[in-house]
Amino acid sequence: MTKRALSAGGILKIKAKGSRQEIPDDGAAGLHLVVQPSGAKSFALRFRRPNGKRAKVTLGPFNPNEQVGEPRIGAPLTLAAARALTGQLNLERAGGVDLVATQRVQRQRRRLNITEAEAHSFGQATRDFLKNHTVRKTGEKPKRWRETASLLGLYYPLDGKEPTVVKGGLCEQWRDRRADEINSDDIYTAIQSKDTEPTRRRMADALATLYGWLLKNRRVRIDPCAGVYRPPAPPSRHRTLNDAEMREVWKACDKLGIRPGQNSRPPWGAIVKLLLITGCRLNEIARLEEAELNGDLISLPPSRTKNHLPFELPLPPLAVEILEGVPRITDCKFIFSTNGRSPVSGFSKVKKQLDEIIAKHRRENGVKTKMPPFRIHDLRRTVSTEMNGLGVLPHIVEQVLNHQSGARGGVAGVYNRFAYLEEKRAALRAWADRVARIVS
């Protein structure tokens, strides 16, 4: 193609064609205007390398407006800036500089800088932490590690797929920042952004655990959480349910989760009843697997208990009867499931419905007062209190609740590995008989 002196106005008038165009510029040696079929226009420098081979360097997109900043490779260029840059590069070539090799080194350096920044970013640090966040005694994930991940800004699906970034979470807010750039002001702001004291406390704990791990693994030099205000834990609860309240809860369980026209019985009522009979923690029952149930004996592995020790609990006949009445889903390993893939969840909604059923029952029976607020975990305290009232020895009550204290606490617990299985069986049978009398 014949060279011609390009002009800014002339470049604007050049129309795109069905194929890519390269128009040499007579105003600078080797400078070409490239016009893509889409209409995009840019500048390129064509030349021969020191080894005689033809080569090309893309200079930058065409800029029809005033030039901003010094002309450089990759920046938008006016025609005058493209000619000036071409002249500079030709001088470098005359001095023996291999432009292609230089560009390759610069691109590689930019990629390395990006990779290093990503490796030290808050998001990558969080991923690495959660990947290695395990319980020291068992090597397995803590029970609420997904909640910790969510607070830090990552969602881990139950099916084991790769995590996704939570919209508006910390990993999105701090996506362009290194983990060691986060300071105590950032930590304080993240904690205070939460709506309630319990959530603020959980956020503080999640960040403290993360940065404790990063500090231990030499990923940061200073812990930004040190000295930042952490909301105190709430006062200890003392709520227990009396006989009348236990009866109301039991009767409400028969309606829990049932919708008009529904034939199958949802599992939530059975779960709450089992919690009242056994004194177990919510997840110990709600996540119960078929493999953990052998006749009238529940056997939980260390990964499923709070103290990370194996736990066996003999079930009284009333509990066995309730479990036998729970409808199972074929090929589902969980006893309590609604989808066949995962255990039941959403207990905040279940508890709200339980309260509504009790309140409605009271109104229908002319009771003007409301039941004092209670939590699901208060059932566990109720079991402990009532068992002591039945004369069950305190250390047996502790064994039923899987507490490591008293005869099983400290050094004594290291040597005393007796399971007290028959004593627990007798205690739970006595308590279940009392529950049956209360609710009948």
Are 75 and 128 contained in the same domain?
no
H or E stretch including 300? Answer: strand 297-300
Q: Is residue 26 part of a domain?
A: yes
CATH number of the domain to which 289 belongs: 1.10.443.10
pLDDT for 416 equals 46
pLDDT in tens, 25-63: 888 888 999 999 988 999 999 988 888 888 888 888 998
Q: State how far the Cα of 183 lies from the Cα of 225, in Å rounded to an integer.
A: 8
Are 279 and 384 contained in the same domain?
yes
* Buried-exposed string 174-194: b where 16+ CB fall within 10 A, e elsewhere: beebbbbebeeebbbebbeeb
Question: Domain range holding 147?
Answer: 122-216
Are 305 and 356 contained in the same domain?
yes
Q: Is residue 406 part of a domain?
A: yes
State both tokens at 297.
């004996």
Q: Longest C-alpha distance within the chain, in Å?
A: 107
121: helix, coil or strand?
Answer: strand
pLDDT in tens, 330-387: 999 999 998 888 899 888 899 999 999 999 999 999 988 999 999 999 999 999 999 9
Q: Which residues of the chain have pLDDT under 70?
A: 1-4, 109-119, 135-139, 259-265, 405-418
Are 288 and 359 contained in the same domain?
yes
H or E stretch including 55? Answer: strand 54-61
Residues 94 and 64 sit within 8 Å (Cβ to Cβ): no
Looking at 76, 94, 116, the residue that finishes a domain is 116
Looking at 86, 116, 146, the residue that finishes a domain is 116
Prediction pTM value: 0.60
49: helix, coil or strand?
Answer: coil
Q: State how far the Cα of 310 lies from the Cα of 321, in Å rounded to an integer.
A: 24
Polymer length in residues for the chain: 440
Q: How many domains does the chain have?
A: 3
Are 433 and 410 contained in the same domain?
yes
